[in-house]
Structure formats: structure tokens, C-alpha cells
Amino acid sequence: MKKVRGEMTVFLSLTLMLVAALLFTLVEGARYRCLASYARMDSVMEANSSFAEFDRALLEDYGLLYLDDSYGTGKENLNRVVSRIMNLSRENLDPKTGLGTDFLRMEMKECSIDAYELATDYKGDAFRRQLVEFAKENLPMEAVDILNLNKASPVNAKGAASFAVLKGKQMGTLRLTDEAPSIPSLEFENPLDFIDSLSGKEVLALVAPKDRTISVKRVDLKNVTDKRNNNVGNYEKHKGTGMDSLMWYLIYMKHYFGNFLEPKEGKALDYEMEYMLYGKDNDRKNLECVCGRIMEIREALNLAYLETDAEKSGIATIIATIIALLLANPEAIEALQKAILLAWAHIESLQEMRRLLMGGRIPYVKNAQNWITDVLFPVTSFSENFGVEDDPNGISYQDFLTAFIAVMTAKKQNYRMMSMMELNIRQKEGKGEFRMDCMMQRMDLGYVYEAKPLFLSFVTIGKIDRGAYRFNEEFKISYLTGDG
């Protein structure tokens, strides 16, 4: 077989080297562009992967998404968040395949959290934003009657009061003799004696339904949101939650938190809304405070009505006159009359509080038709629990709670609700260190990726810098849909 001798000129060799260098450079340029896209893709994936580790208890119980940056320890640890992101990136960018060559091999060299926002930031406004978003998307529209504004203020008198005389009862009777013919004989009970007998008694003992047991639950408030110094993020404050924020807050609260009439099972406190209002460490004290506040309001309204009712004011004047003459102190008539009116107003308020705690409604405005207590025999009418008919157009116990919470400061509303969430979630296994000021809802991440040149190693012409490529990426991630 004849052998053919091949040869190549120096010029052709140089030409082939130039062509090869050009091809490898073009391939490396394409690879560089792919590496940049790969780095961007990984930065997004790792941020989403980290936020996919949201706190499950908070989502299951309250529908909210937050990343626990303490990972269950109760101590904020941003370095652990960063470490977790870098570990996830290492697994994704350097898979252990064992075969083949990865032409896009790269590594995340640095990761930093440049800004982050916690639930407790800006007096809880960060928490409120997500709460409002969730309520708008998931809860039924209850805004129409959230404060009972759709109901007319005139009350339905439906036989609520007509207790002029109680027959068949033996009452203590005070009668004037001929020495004072201008004052008619009058059978009545002295309300001042009854009020004096109530001194030292708890309001709850007088008004709580007999078939209901007052909760004795108690909690430790040393480490809750509204009692401690909270961790603080460094995210720029959002513009705000809008004018309807309060309405949606109240809708969310009524959906997820219980009260005396509608307690939720398995909670740290049975009367959660009462806690949000007063922040005491036990159910009984919180309920007492709510009842006391309602009583103060109703006493003032009832007294105002009595002073404008000529008939009842006249009866009070007659009783005051009788008592003053028996005491031989006619100068005390005016003071006694005011004290009697105040006593009547107080007894009426006790009756109204009874009705509220039984789940009923009381009228917004008092008049002769809806007055409950018999002004001549207030003690008997109170002790026999007269006048507990419901007023369908009136205001309920829940309405009072909602109104009281609505006028609290936004900070107190937010922090008290978060405190209640903490107390409830800490009852779960492994959640004893749960803290809302470790709950992250958005963050800005910065990354640095590094990759080594691959095809340039075949280019031998000239002096080429074969140092590593560096890609700087930034990504913002948030659980809030408005930030998407």
C-alpha cells in the first residue's frame, strides 16, 4: 500500500490556531452569558426556598406566612438564615452526579441580608399589612355590621318594661302621718340600702349567668410582644395599610379570637378579646375590667335618662323627701334625690350587664318603655331577675368589645393580638420559644457567585486574564402579595 505523506505550512498552522482561539472565545462568551443567567436563576430559587420554610403553626392557626429567623430557638439569628441559603445553593449548583461534565459549574461565595422586616416592626404595622391582605382575600365580608352600624338606634320596646307595681310582695313601708299632709303615702324600697349592701361584692358575682362557670385560666406575661423589648428589622417603612385597615383588623379578630360568649377551644385564655383589651394575666380579671367599663358607660346613660324623665325624677324627689324628714334633715333632700337616681341607674346597669352576659342585646337609648328595673322596688326586681327580654335592635356584648378595641391605639391592637398568638402557639409541642419578633415577612438579599473560565484554557495566544468570573445578584422576596 502506497503511503501518502502529509504536510502543513507554518502559515496554515497559525491560521488554525487563530480560528481555534476565536471559536473557543466565542464558546466561552456564550458560557459566560449562561453563567450570568444561571446565577440569577439560583438567586431567585434560593430566596424562594428559604421562604418556603415558613412557620407552619402560624399558617395553620391564623393563616399568616412568616419565616422564623430563630428556627425555633426564640433568638434572632440572621447568620443561620444566610447559612441555610448558602447550603441550599451548594446542593443545587454542585450536584453529586458522578458522571459527565458540568459546563456551568459555579459557586455562591457570599450571601447577605441587606434589609429585612419583622412582624413587630413599626409598632406592628408590618404584621397588620399581612393580616389585612389575608382578611380581604379569605374572610367573608362582614364589614356591613362590624360595629352594628346598620341597625337603627330606636329600640323595640316589645314589653321590656312595665313594672309599676309588684303585687303580692311584702315590702317595708314608710308612711307619713298628718304632720306632712302635702306628701302622699308611698310604698317603696330604699335603693340606697341595697347599694350599700353591694359594697365589697364583685360585679361578676352579681351579673354572671348562673349556668356559666367563669374561666380561671392564667398565663405568664413576662415574655410576650406587648411586655418586652422586641427585635427590630431595618426595612424601609411601607406607606401604610389604608383607611379600611381597622375594619379588616376587626373582621380578622372576630374570626380567629374568642370571648366570654364565644370562647375558642384549646387556647391559652378563653377570653382572648378581653385580654386584647386589658392585657391582664387571667380571664377573670380581664372580664371584670370589661364589665366595669360597660357598667360605667351604661350608668352614665341611665342617669342622664332618669334626670330627663319627670315621673321618675318626681318619685325620687318624694322618696328623698320622706327619708330626709325621717332623718330630720330636710336640707339633704336634693343630695338624697341625686343619690337615689344614681342608685337606680346603677341597679339598671346591673340588669343590663346580666342581659349582655346572657348573650342578649340592650337598647342604645333608654326610655320609659325599655326601662327594666322597677323604680319603686328595684331590689326585688333585680333579685328576681326581671326584664331580661332581648332587644333585637340593641347592642350586644360583642359589639361593646369590638367598639372598645376599635378605639385603642394601632400599636396596642397589633401587639396585644400578637401576644395572644404567642401564648396560644407556645402550647404546641416544640414551640415553647415562639416569638412574633422573630417572624420575618420580607427581606432583600445580596449574592456573589464565582465561576472559573473553562474554554479559555485552550486559548494560548496573547496574555489573557484567566481569573474567576464574579456575578453580583440582588433579590427582594416577600410574603405580601402587594410586593410581588
pLDDT at 230 over 50: yes
Q: Are residues 84 and 200 in the same domain?
A: no
Domain boundary at 375, 397, 425, which? 425
* Residue-wise pLDDT tens digits, 396-413: 999 999 999 999 999 999
pLDDT band per the 50, 70, 90 thresholds, residue 384:
low
User: Is 132 inside any structural domain?
Assistant: no
Question: Number of folded domains in the chain?
Answer: 2
- Quick one: what percent of the chain has pLDDT higher than 90? 50
Q: Are residues 350 and 399 in the same domain?
A: yes
What pLDDT is stored for residue 172 in this prediction? 36
Q: Are residues 26 and 117 in the same domain?
A: yes
What pLDDT is stored for residue 155 in this prediction? 32
* Residue-wise pLDDT tens digits, 59-101: 999 999 999 999 999 999 999 999 999 999 888 887 664 444 5
Q: Are residues 421 and 438 in the same domain?
A: no
User: Is 97 inside any structural domain?
Assistant: yes
Q: Are residues 339 and 453 in the same domain?
A: no
Residue range of the domain that includes 113: 10-124+434-483
Q: Are residues 170 and 295 in the same domain?
A: yes
What pLDDT is stored for residue 149 in this prediction? 45
Q: Are residues 158 and 114 in the same domain?
A: no
Domain boundary at 408, 425, 442, which? 425
Q: Are residues 342 and 293 in the same domain?
A: yes
What pLDDT is stored for residue 459 in this prediction? 60
Q: Are residues 46 and 161 in the same domain?
A: no
SS3 for the chain is CCCCCCCCCHHHHHHHHHHHHHHHHHHHHHHHHHHHHHHHHHHHHHHHHHHCCCCHHHHHHHCCCCEECCCCCCCCCHHHHHHHHHHHHHHHHCCCCCCCCCCCCCEEEEEEEEEEEECCHHHHHHHHHHHHHHHHHHCCCCHHHCCCCCCCCCCCCCCCCCCCCCCCCCCCEECCCCCCCCCCCEECCCHHHHHHHCCCCCHHHHHCCCCCCCCCCECCCCCCCCCCCCCCCCCCCCCCCCCCHHHHHHHHHHHHCCCCCCCCCCCCCCCHHHHHHHCCCEHHHHHHHHHHHHHHHHHHHHHHHHHHCHHHHHHHHHHHHHHHHHCCCHHHHHHHHHHHHHHHHHHHHHHHHHHHHCCCEECCCCCCCCCCCCCCCHHHHHHCCCCCCCCCCCEEHHHHHHHHHHCCCHHHHHHHHHHHHHHHHCCCCCCCCCCHHHEEEEEEEEEEEEECCCHHHHCCCCCCCCCCEEEEEEEEEECCHHHC
Kindly report the number of other CB atoms within 10 A of residue 182's CB atom.
6
Q: What is the mean pLDDT of residues 439-459?
A: 85
User: Is 5 inside any structural domain?
Assistant: no
Domain boundary at 379, 403, 425, which? 425
What pLDDT is stored for residue 268 in this prediction? 96
- CA-nearest of 173, 162, 206 to 375 is 162
User: Is 211 inside any structural domain?
Assistant: yes
What pLDDT is stored for residue 286 in this prediction? 97
User: Is 405 inside any structural domain?
Assistant: yes
Q: Are residues 419 and 455 in the same domain?
A: no
- CA-nearest of 295, 294, 305, 291 to 371 is 305
pLDDT at 182 over 60: no
User: Is 14 inside any structural domain?
Assistant: yes
User: Is 4 inside any structural domain?
Assistant: no
User: Is 3 inside any structural domain?
Assistant: no
Compute the distance between CA of residue 171 and CA of residue 186 in angstroms, rounded to an integer. Answer: 11
- C-alpha grid cell, residue 13: 498552522
Of the spans 29-38, 188-197, 290-299, which averages the highest pLDDT?
Answer: 290-299
Structure-model confidence comparison of residues 372 and 269, the more confident one: 269
* Residue-wise pLDDT tens digits, 150-171: 443 333 333 332 222 222 332 3
Q: Are residues 467 and 365 in the same domain?
A: no
Q: Are residues 379 and 472 in the same domain?
A: no
